[in-house]
Structure 1
Amino acid sequence: MTSSSADLPATELSVTLDRRGRAAVLAVAGEIDLLSAPEFADVVDAVLAGEPEILVVDLRAVTFFCSAGLQVLAAAHRRLAEGALRVVSDSAVTSGPLKTTGLDTWITIHPTVGEALR
């Protein structure tokens, strides 16, 4: 049996970086699943290599968020100072898994990027 690209699940992930002083803001759009999480992790690792004081991850445009995405955020949290990783979320798609797993006790959730940067 041969495989074609139509047999593979399509994943669309877009990540943009905005530097604001010593803060890095990653705006993520699309699905963070088992296929896209490694790409998400690579971007987060590259940003953390620049040693920002604060990393804001804006997940408001994320339409699917699985445990692989949680693992990326947990790994970033371990690499940063306490309170330096902040997530922006306005939907249960992304804030729900953070709250269900208890990660919201270590990673703060904010409704806007502006609030996360305060």
Structure 2
Amino acid sequence: MTRDLVVSTRPAGAALVVSASGEVDILSAPKLSTALSEALATGSEVVVVDLSEVGFFGSAGLSVLVETLAAVTAQQLRVVASPQVQRPIELTGLDAMLDLYGTLPEALADGG
């Protein structure tokens, strides 16, 4: 895994997948935030945030997820979390508000 954050967006059936790899910290979090805002603006029914290739997920990343949750209207937000991402999500209790998945195929296969 690279330290620099790389973010890409692609359609996957009815879902729009925003994939990130690298590290999400105070400097790189705005890049992820922008990609998620743009994904929500498309009106896609399901937005999947694939963080399975993220090696570090700091408090700025948690803030991006909270802000994204607040911006979600009728869309479903699903998060694929690496262990490095899942741990801070669970420690902060954010897992109670997010739909977490271990893999991208699991997130895409979930019908509801």
Residue type matched to 1:113 in 2? L
Return the TM-score normalized by structure 2: 0.87
- Kindly state the Cα deviation for residue 21 of structure 1 after the two structures are TM-superposed: 3.1
Q: Determine if contact 1:59/1:88 at 8 Å carries over to the other structure.
A: yes
Q: Segments of 4+ in structure 1 off by > 3 A?
A: none
- Partner Cα distance (1:77, 1:83) in 2: 10
Aligned: 1:112 with 2:103:
yes
Q: 1:83 to 1:105 in 2, by over 3 A?
A: farther
Aligned: 1:73 with 2:76:
no
- Partner Cα distance (2:94, 2:73) in 1: 15
- Kindly state the Cα deviation for residue 55 of structure 1 after the two structures are TM-superposed: 1.1
Return the TM-score normalized by structure 1: 0.83
Question: Gaps spanning 5+ residues in structure 1: where?
Answer: 1-10
- Partner Cα distance (2:88, 2:47) in 1: 19
Aligned: 1:54 with 2:57:
no
Aligned: 1:88 with 2:80:
yes
Q: Determine if contact 1:83/1:107 at 8 Å carries over to the other structure.
A: no
- Kindly state the Cα deviation for residue 51 of structure 1 after the two structures are TM-superposed: 1.4
Q: How many residues align?
A: 107
Bigger radius of gyration, 1 or 2? 1
- Kindly state the Cα deviation for residue 82 of structure 1 after the two structures are TM-superposed: 7.2
Between 69-78 and 29-38, report the one with greater CA deviation. 69-78
- Partner Cα distance (1:90, 1:47) in 2: 21
Question: Gaps spanning 5+ residues in structure 2: where?
Answer: none
